Chain A
Amino acid sequence: MSTLLVLVGTALCAVLAGWAGWRAARDRPVVLRQLYGAAVVEAYLVAQAVAVVVHPADGGSGGAKYWLYAVTQLALLPLAALWAFAERTRWSSVVLLVAALVVGFLQVRLLQVWGQG
């Protein structure tokens, strides 16, 4: 688990959260372009998980806590995307904002719990 992997992920989430927050503040729902953005973030998270399995940088390993966080963060953005289709109000933007913030937070937590049971 390398710090760089997490930093890039957190930055991507921050951009997505900022975009969603901007639209929420202007009372606008999520648009498809944002979902493409979320798909990029999601692809990065999947790549990160694969990279950690294939090549754990410092020779350590992720415990149960690590993988609980990892699986949770993978589920959040798809859920927000589904709700963006069902909810055509500003609240879809709020949901995407919350999801992106939580994923960014979990990215940092991944670093903290690396190597813990």
Chain B
Amino acid sequence: MTPERGPETRSGTRPGPRPTNSGGGRALVLVYGILALAACARGGYEVAVKFERAPLAYSLALASGIVYAVATFALATNRRRLAWPAVVVEMAGVLVVGTLSLVDPDRFQRATVWSWFGLEYLLVPLVLPFLGVAWLRRTGRGVPVEAPARQAPGR
């Protein structure tokens, strides 16, 4: 017995931009969602409890959470025009904050998910924006990204 094929199954051959929230996009949305939760919780906690100690770093921590939340929402609901700026800001954020955390460790060490380019999160924050951009480009071209869905679901 296997799960029924859902109504969202797509052939992957239709012209025009493909949805950002199916196929590999689902895995991407899941990872974005988890990071959004992690970054929002961390940033929110830091801003609420110890904001005075490092206002800039903790504001950035919360901002990173918001950027991830926006990217998650945009990718999950196929809003390409919102997803693009979110992913680009995310890429700039991880590169800038990652660099700052090495140059000025006193202020940025351990403060955000972007510190040390996301090393604490297994470098996922560094890789993710590049995957996001690649995914938006591929789906934007409207070409099939993976093999068409199987007629008979697995064995």
A: which residues have CB within 8 A of B? 23, 27-32, 35, 64, 68, 72, 76, 79-80, 83-92, 94-95, 98-99, 102
- The reply to whether B41 and A68 form a contact with Cβ atoms under 8 Å apart is yes
Report the bound CA distance from A84 to B149 in whole Å: 13
- The reply to whether B146 and A91 form a contact with Cβ atoms under 8 Å apart is yes
Report the bound CA distance from A76 to B45 in whole Å: 22
- The reply to whether B26 and A87 form a contact with Cβ atoms under 8 Å apart is yes
Residues of A within 8 A of B30 (CB): 79-80, 83, 95, 98-99
Secondary structure type dominating chain A contacts:
helix
* B31 proximal to A (CB < 8 A): yes
- The reply to whether B149 and A89 form a contact with Cβ atoms under 8 Å apart is yes
B: which residues have CB within 8 A of A? 1-6, 8-9, 22-27, 30-31, 34, 37, 41, 45, 146-147, 149-150, 153-155
- The reply to whether A95 and B27 form a contact with Cβ atoms under 8 Å apart is yes
Residues of B within 8 A of A87 (CB): 6, 8-9, 22-23, 26
Secondary structure type dominating chain B contacts:
loop
B26 in complex: contacting residue of A23, A31, A68, A91, CB < 8 Å: A91
Q: How far is the CB of B49 from chain A (nearest CB, A)?
A: 9
- The reply to whether B34 and A94 form a contact with Cβ atoms under 8 Å apart is no
Residues of B within 8 A of A76 (CB): 34
Report the bound CA distance from A80 to B3 in whole Å: 13
Report the bound CA distance from A95 to B149 in whole Å: 16
Q: Told that A72-B34, A72-B37, A89-B146 touch, could you supply 10 new A-B pairs with CB distance under 8 A?
A: A23-B154, A86-B22, A87-B8, A88-B149, A89-B147, A90-B146, A91-B23, A91-B146, A95-B27, A98-B31
